[in-house]
Structure 1
Amino acid sequence: MIIFPAIDIIDGKPVRLFKGDFSTAEQVAEDALQTAQGFVDAGAEWIHMVDLDGSVQKKRVNHQVFVDVANQTSLKVELGGGIRTMQDIDYYANNGISRVILGSVALKNPDLVKQAVKEFGDLIAVGIDAKNGFVATEGWTEGSDTFYIDLARQMEDMGVKTIIYTDISKDGTLMGPNIEQLTALNEAVSCDITASGGVTNIDDIIALKDKGLYGAICGKSIYKGTLDLKQAVEVCK
């Protein structure tokens, strides 16, 4: 299982949110590049990054931060937030980003996902964020009546190979991941499933690994010290 240490960006600075609420934004480090290098030193090979400004403004905002991390560290960058057009995907694909996450557009503009997978293949991942099992969009500010597994199956049919699933009620809470929903999703589709939200300690990592998940995103747990990144990476080798 791959461990994805996470850096979310607002105004160029690394922050964490509680349950996706922007009013709870807490700066967790001074510099994204320096933080990312620390992840390299701990043995990480990937990093999960989110343009939170982009997710709200529906366009690329903090792109230089992500490009710098991709090109100035050895990390492979998985990136979401504000990626709404083929031009956005093309920009990141040509500037060193290893995986581009399509979020709200997966529900609102599935044709873009279809086109993106056709052109960029495995570079494309889909982020499915849900509350009580129903998909939320636009930086989690809008709900829907679409069940998360139904959307995942639709994405699988389009050729999407990687899905990042976030239970919003768990995100940033250090309350443990939603193992039940993640397991159901992993059994429902053939896509690689990455767990996002709630990961707290090494026991959570072991539980997710035992369920056969592809990856786990770890944010607040690293910054708050409840999870040792080096240990997590070692356990998952």
Structure 2
Amino acid sequence: MQIWPAIDLRGGKCVRLRQGDYAQETVFNDDPVSVAKEFAAAGAKHLHIVDLDGAREGLPVNLPSVQDIVNAVDMECELGGGVRDEQAIIELLGFGIDRLVVGTSAIKQPDWFRDTCRKFPNKLVLGIDARDGMVATDGWLETSSVSALELARQFEGEPIAALVYTDIATDGMMAGPNVRAMRDMQAALDLPVVASGGVTTLDDVRDLAQAGLSGAIVGRALYEGAFQLSDAIQIAQEAADK
């Protein structure tokens, strides 16, 4: 299982939100590049970046910070937040981002997303953010009438790099991930599922690895010192070796 430490950008700073609420923001570092370098030094090979301003505005906003991060570290980087048209995809891939997370546009324009996946094979990640199993869009400001699994199944067979599945209820709450929902999603689909939301302890990492998840995104727990990134990477590797 891959471990994806997260950098959430807002106003060029490294922040975390609780349950996606922009009013519940904690600024952890004014220098996202230094955070990325710390993750790399701990042995991370992957980096999950979220442009929170972009998610709300509908187009990438923190591009200078993203560019600086990508230039500073030798990691597989993915970016989500405001990736909603082909021009943004071309520009961001040109920056050196390895893969892009698309969420809102996938549910609102499924035919467009399907076609775009074919234009950029294995470069797009389907981002599904769910509240009580139902898909949330527009930076989690809206909840749709589509279930997370129903949305994911619409795109089975397309050249998608992975599915990032976020449980909003657990995100940023330091209360543990929704392992059952993550396990069920991975079991139902023939594509890599990356769990996001609520990873708080090394046992959470172990549980997700044992549940068969392809990856896990880790955020607030790292910033609050709940565990060391290097230990999480080791546990994920041990689970893969079994």
TM-score, normalized by the shorter chain, greater than 0.5: yes
1:125 alignment counterpart = 125
Q: What one-letter code is carried by the residue in structure 1 that aligns with 2:56?
A: V
Q: Shift of residue 115 of structure 1?
A: 2.1
> Gapped runs of 5+ residues in structure 2?
238-242
Q: Which residue pairs with 1:32 in the alignment?
A: 32
TM-score with structure 1 length normalisation? 0.98
* TM-score normalized with structure 2 length: 0.96
Alignment match, 1:55: 55
Q: Does 1:115 align with 2:115?
A: yes
Task: Supply the distance in 2 between the matched residues of 1:78 and 1:188 (Cα, whole angstroms).
Answer: 24
**C-alpha contact (below 8 Å) 1:69/1:77 kept by paired residues:** no
Structure 2 distance, partners of 1:117, 1:131, is 25
SS of residue matched to 2:128 = strand
Name the SS for the 1:191 alignment partner: coil
| Unmatched tracts of structure 1, length 5 or more | none
Percent identity, aligned pairs only, is 39
Q: 4+ runs of 1 displaced by more than 4 Å?
A: none
Query: Could you tell me how far apart the structure 2 residues matched to 1:187 and 1:220 are?
Result: 27
- Looking at structure 1, the residues matched to 101 and 73 of structure 2 have their Cα atoms a distance apart, in angstroms, of 20
Task: Give the equivalent residue in structure 1 for 2:74.
Answer: 74
Task: Say if 2:134 is the partner of 1:134.
Answer: yes
Distance in 2 separating the partners of 1:198 and 1:116: 31
Report the equivalent of 1:149. 149
Partner SS, residue 163 of structure 2? strand
Partner secondary structure for residue 129 of structure 2: strand
**Offset of residue 5 of structure 1:** 0.5
Q: Matches of 2:156 and 2:101 in 1, distance apart? A: 14
The alignment yields a C-alpha RMSD, in angstroms, of 0.9
Q: Which amino acid aligns with 1:126?
A: L
Question: In structure 1, what is the Cα distance between the partners aligned to 2:3 and 2:95?
Answer: 23
Measure, in 1, the Cα distance between the counterparts of 2:35 and 2:214.
24
Partner residue of 1:163? 163
**How many residue pairs align between the two structures?**
237
Deviations 1:75-100 (A, max 9, x none): 22110000111010111111100110
1:191 is the counterpart of 2:208 = no
